[in-house]
Each structure stands twice: as C-alpha cells, then as structure tokens.
Amino acid sequence: MKTMDAKFLLRALRPDGRDTADPLFAEALVQVGQDPALAAWLAREQQTDTALAAKLAEIMPPAGLRDAILVGARASRPRRAWWQQPLRLAAAAAGLVLVFSLIWLRRSAHAELASVGLHDLAAAHNDHQMHQTGVAQLETRLADGAGKVPAVLAGLDLAQLRAGGCRTITADGHTVFELCFNRDGAWYHVYAARAGDFSATVPQLAFATQGALAAATWADGDNLYAVVTDAGTDALRRVL
Amino acid sequence: MPDEVFTQLVDTHYAALYRFALSLARSSSDASDLTQQTFYIWATKGSALRDLSKAKTWLFTTLYREFLRTRRRGQRLTALEDLPPGEKDVADELTSDQMEKLDGDTVLSAMQEIDEVFRAPLTLFYLQDLSYAQIAETLDVPIGTVMSRLSRGKTQLRARLAEQGGVAQIIAFPSGRQKTS
C-alpha cells in the first residue's frame, strides 16, 4: 500500500481507538508499524483530531433546549390507539357489549336508549389518533373557544362528513361519525349519528358519567350527538 | 417508549445532535429547531424502532434529512467534488501553539465555512459518535466517498483555521481540479 493510500484511509480512523479493530484499517496500521515517518504522521494527525474534537465538544447547546425537547416531544407523541392498550381494549369490549345489549333492548320497545348507547360507545372509543384532514375545518371550528359545540354542529349534514372521509364506527349496522377537538388542553370527542337509527324519542340534553369520562347527548334536527371528555363534567359543560 | 428511556435518549444525544445541526445550519436558533424537530420525529415515528442500538444513527440521519428538506432549493449542494482551481492546501498539521489558541467557537466557525459536503461528514467525525461506516449510512453515501470527504474536509478545515491564526504555512495546491471518489 502506498503511503498516500494509507494516509487516505487513516484520516477516517477515530483517534479514540474504537476503530483500530476494523479490518478496513488493518493493512494501513500494519504499515504504520513498519514506517516511522507514517507513524509520526499518524500521531500528529490523531493529536490534531483529538484536539479539534475537544474544541467542538466545548460548544454547548442553549440553556433550555433539553427541557424544550422533552416537553415538546412528550406533548406531541401520539397516544396509542385504544385498541393497542389492554385496559382500553377491555373497556371497549365491555362498552360494545353494552351498546349492542341496549340496541337489542330498543328493539324490544324500550325507548330512550340512544343517548346511553352513544355514551357508552363514545367511552369505549375515547382514545385514538386525533387528526383527520378531510374534516379539519370543522374540527378547527369545534376547537375554537368562542363557539359552543351544539351551535357549531347545528345543521350539520352527515353526508358531508362522509364525503370528507370522517372517521366512522358502526353500531348495529348504523354509522356513527367521530370528530375530535382540543380546547384549553382538554380533548373532546364528538359522535354524530342519524337520530332515527337509535331512538324515536331523544332527550334535549342529558349528561352522564362513566368512570373518568363525562358525556353529554342531545338531538338537533335529524341528528343525534354525543360529546365525551375525560376532563370532567365541568369542562364538558363549558363547551355546551 | 417509557418516558425515562426517551429522557435518557435525549440526554445521551441532544448535545451532539445540536453541534451537528449548528455546523450545518450555522445559526443557533435553526440548530435548536433542527434538534427539536429530530426528537419530535422520533417521538411520533422513531420510537417504533425496535433496535435501540440503532437509535443514534437514526437520529443523526433524521436530522440531516430534515436539514436537507428544509433548506431552500437554491442552496443545494455545490458540485462538490469540483473544487475551484487554485484551491490551497496547508501543511498536514497545525502547530501545538496554533491549537492552543483555538477555542470551540473558532473551530465551529471554521467548520461552518468549509463546503457543506465536507462539513457534514467532518462534523460527524469530530463528534466521534459515529464510525466512518455509520457516517456513510447517515449521509447515504458510499464509504469511499465519506473517506474522500473526510480527507479533503480536514484539509479545508485546517486551512481555514490556519488562516484565522494567520501563521499558517500555506503551500500551493497543484494546479487543475482534483477529483474524489
């Protein structure tokens, strides 16, 4: 190996010794052992590299960068989908059993079940990926602290939700649309369905809680709505 | 990924990532943004990486790609392997006196002046976190190219440092253009 070729390789050798066992450098290092001039060059090269690495290590990140990374990344990390969490999965299963039981009861002429059914369905689906591009504008309006949720949803055309690719879930063959928004740090989940799919008689506005979840349901025109949050009933009332 | 593992990952790598970003972006605020963005991407995507031993290379690769992505097209890489004729080289080593006079800011400033294609591998080399093979993987270039860029990058860096020191032994580079692999 020519000295020039050996130098070419050895310039990529880290001076801390971590690369000396790398076969790529083996021949060049053997040559270093046989060529005092090359050995002297490598010693100077590595001395310079060590010094420059130490100088570079003097550069310190701005104060606060670490905390900003930790807080920012933690806040932006997606929560795992509910079906990826064992406890949520169990809750979902229980909720769905309850929903279908209630739907079965409705068929048996027991009315006023839609709100409870939606509530439990909402509770089961409380945690999931948040953003939907096709209905982003509506979710943004829902997140706007100036508007009450029922007012924002008034006159909502469910067909437009479908056209916008809104996420849906199916209960007893009926489609339920799902929207999510955040106000003041709290997440809210809106469920919308055709009222006729769930009950002939619908309450004006009803509240319910299940564990840490608070839910409200109401009817507006042909639609039935439920909004669910884990931020508590007071937080729920503030958006209604 | 548990919070404590993520915190450990940040503590282990954020300073080196910031230094790498600073050498690329040349401004502290941009470097901070790049570093944060890298961990943001890790938090949303990279945490799915099963082999945490590859996290370091993943982070540097992601930061570099983010830098390339966010940079305006007009600032794309110069045709690197063609240095202008008349480029000068310095003697292989800086004197110990010269080295003692240097501080971190001076080294960084000189590094920021060299051609970007040399700057990225050279910074990674001096951070000492990555081997030449990992640098090649991070920058998505062949190993031979990394070695070539390290060799030439070192020459450029030392030339800049010597210029700043004002005592360099400058020697003329052979005329004509030099090709690298």
Closest Cα in chain B to A19: B131
Residue among A140, A235, A223, A147 nearest A180 (CA): A140
Any residues with CB less than 8 A from the CB of A179 and at least 6 apart, and which? A132, A135, A138, A139, A142, A161, A166, A189, A190, A192
List the beta bridge partners of residue A176.
A169
Q: Rounded mean pLDDT of A119-138?
A: 57
Inter-chain CB proximity B42 and A59 less than 8 Å:
no
Q: Does residue B157 belong to the interface with chain A, where contact is any CB pair within 8 Å?
A: yes
Note the pLDDT of residue B15. 94
- C-beta separation of A192 from A158 below 8 A: yes
Interface test with B, best of A20, A48, A74, A80 (most B CBs within 10 A): A48
Is the pLDDT at A105 greater than 60? The verdict is no
Per-residue burial over B47-85, b if 16 or more Cβ lie within 10 Å, else e, is beeeeeeebbbbbbbbbbebbeeeeeeeeeeeeebebee
Chain A CB contacts of B6 below 8 Å: 70, 73-74
Q: Does B10 touch chain A (CB under 8 A)?
A: yes
Please state, rounded to an integer, the average pLDDT across all residues of chain B.
75
pLDDT in tens, A146-179: 788 999 898 888 888 888 778 777 666 677 788 8
Angle between helices A86-107 and A114-124 (to 10 degrees): 160
Query: Could you give the 3-state DSSP secondary structure of residue B142?
Result: coil
Q: How far is CA A39 from the centre of its chain?
A: 56
CA-nearest of B157, B113, B20, B124 to A45 is: B157
Residue A50 has pLDDT above 80, yes or no: yes
Tokens of B79: 């045709």
Q: What ipTM goes with this model?
A: 0.74
End-to-end CA distance of chain B: 41
3-class DSSP assignment, residue B41: helix
Here the tokens at position A141 are 């309006």
Spell out the long-range contacts of A183-186 with Cβ–Cβ below 8 A and sequence spacing 24 or more. Answer: A183/A143, A183/A145, A183/A238, A183/A239, A184/A145, A184/A235, A186/A229, A186/A230, A186/A231, A186/A235
Closest CA to B121 of B111, B135, B108: B135
Would you call A6 helix, strand, or coil by DSSP? helix
Judging contacts by C-beta atoms under 8 Å, the chain A residues touching residue B21 are none
pLDDT at A31: 94
Which residues contact residue A177 at a Cβ distance below 8 angstroms, ignoring those fewer than 6 apart? A158, A161, A162, A166, A167, A168, A191, A192, A193
Q: Do B125 and A78 touch (CB under 8 A)?
A: no
Contact B44 A53 (CB under 8 A): no
d(CA B131, CA A23): 13
Q: Which of A179-183, B21-25, B84-88 has the lowest mean pLDDT?
A: B84-88
Question: What mean pLDDT, rounded, does chain A reach?
Answer: 74
pTM of the model as a whole: 0.53
Q: Widest CA span of chain B, in angstroms?
A: 58
Q: pLDDT tens for residues B149-165?
A: 898 889 888 888 877 76
Report the length, in residues, of chain A.
240
pLDDT band of residue B174 (cuts 50, 70, 90) is: very low
B88 pLDDT above the threshold of 50: no
Q: Please report which residue ranges of chain A form alpha helices under DSSP H.
A: 3-10, 23-34, 36-57, 65-76, 86-107, 114-124, 136-143, 149-153, 158-163, 233-238
**Would you state the pLDDT for residue A99?**
52
Percent of chain A residues past pLDDT 70, beyond the cut: 68
| Most A CBs within 10 Å, among B93, B161, B169, to test the A interface | B93
